[in-house]
Structure 1
Amino acid sequence: MPTATEVDSTAEAAARRFRLAQTRGQQLLDEVDEWHSKSPPKVSFDLAPDGMGWMAVVHGYDPAPPLDAWGLQLGEVANHYRSVLNTTLTRIWNAEGLPRSNRLQYPVCVTRAQWSRASRVLAPLPERLVRLIYAGQPFVMSRAHGALPRDDVLAVLAWTDNQQKHQVELTASTSPVMNNFVAHAEFEESARVVDVRDISHSIQKREDGKVVILADTRPHRVKTLSTADLWLTTEITFADESGAWTEVRALLWEFLQRSRSVVQELLVVWSDESFDVDRIGGSVDFVSGAAFGKAAVDSLHGSGRWSKDFFNSGRFGEHRASAALEVGLSGVVDGRLSAEDH
Structure 2
Amino acid sequence: MDFSDQVSRLARAHQLGAALSADMGAWGGSTPYGVRASIAEDRLSWELRLQVSQSPPLAEWGFRFGEAVNHLRAALDNLIVAIARQTGVTDEKHLKGLMFPICGTLKEWKSRQKALACLPDWCRDALEQVQPFQRSEHGGTLDEDLLLVLRELDNSTKHHLQVKPDLAPQAIRHAPTVEFETEAGAAASVPPDTEVITGPFEDGAVLLRYRTKGRIKSIKGQYNYTAQVQAVCPDGRSHGVTDLLAALWEYTRIVMRHVMGAAEQAEGRSGA
TM over 0.5: yes
Q: d(CA) in 2 for partners of 1:13 and 1:214? A: 51
**Is residue 27 of structure 1 aligned with residue 14 of structure 2?**
no
8 A contact 2:135–2:142 mirrored in 1: no
Cα distance between partner residues in 1 of 2:154 and 2:233 = 11
Describe the superposition over 1:171-200 as per-residue Cα deviations: whole angstroms up to 9, x where unpaired: 1112356574222223555879xxxxx997
**Per-residue deviation at 1:35?**
1.8
Of the three residues 109, 113, 120, the one matched with 1:115 is 109
Structure 1 runs (4+) deviating above 6 angstroms are: 48-53, 198-201
Q: Which residue of 1 aligns with 2:207?
A: 213
Task: Give the structure, 1 or 2, with the largest relative contact order (CA under 8 Å, sep 6 or more).
Answer: 2
1:15 counterpart = 2:7:
yes
Q: Matched residues in 1 for 2:101 and 2:63: separation? A: 23
Shift of 1:64: 1.4
Alpha-carbon contact 1:176-1:230 (below 8 Å) kept:
no
| Cα distance change on mapping 1:57 and 1:265 into 2, 3 Å | same
* Residue of structure 2 equivalent to 1:232: 225
Q: Deviations over 1:92-147 (max 9, x none)?
A: 22222234322211012233343222222223433343233223223332564644
Q: 1:132 to 1:41 in 2, by over 3 A?
A: same
Report the TM-score, using the length of structure 1 for normalisation.
Answer: 0.64
Q: Show structure 2 runs of 5+ residues with no match.
A: none
> Which residue of structure 1 lines up, in the alignment, with residue 49 of structure 2?
57
Q: 2:84 aligns with which of 86, 90, 93?
A: 93
Q: 1:160 aligns with which of 128, 136, 153?
A: 153
The CA distance in 2 between the partners of 1:176 and 1:242, in whole Å, is 22
Identity of counterpart residues, as a percentage? 24
1:103 matched residue in structure 2: 97
Q: Whole-Å Cα distance in 2 between the matches of residues 199 and 178 of structure 1?
A: 20
Q: 1:110 to 1:55 in 2, by over 3 A?
A: farther
- Correspondence 1:60-79 to 2 at 5 A: 61-79=52-70
Q: Which residue of 1 aligns with 2:238?
A: 245
Letter in 2 for 1:214: L
Q: How far apart are the structure 2 equivalents of 1:98 and 1:245? A: 41
RMSD: 3.5
Equivalent residues in 2 for 1:173-184 (5 A)?
Answer: 173-175=166-168, 178=171, 180-184=173-177
Flag the 1:159–1:178 CA change in 2: closer, same or farther, 3 A. closer
Q: Which ranges in structure 1 are unaligned for 5 or more consecutive residues?
A: 1-5, 193-197, 276-342
Aligned residues: 258
In structure 2, what residue type is equivalent to 1:91?
Answer: A
Q: Distance in 2 between matches of 1:222 and 1:140?
A: 61
For 1:98 and 1:105, the matched residues in 2 are separated by 14
Taking a change above 3 Å as real, the CA distance of residues 141 and 99 of structure 1, as seen in their structure-2 partners, is farther
Which amino acid is 1:204 matched to?
A: T
- Residue matched to 1:271: 264
Answer yes or no: is 1:36 the counterpart of 2:28: yes
The corresponding residue for 1:137 is 131
The aligned residue for residue 37 of structure 2 is 45
- Per-residue Cα deviation, 1:43-98 (whole angstroms, up to 9, x for no partner): 33235799786432225x32211211211111111111111111112222222223
- Assess, with a 3 A threshold, how the Cα gap between structure 1 residues 264 and 105 changes in structure 2: closer, same or farther: same
Q: Distance in 2 between matches of 1:144 and 1:249?
A: 27
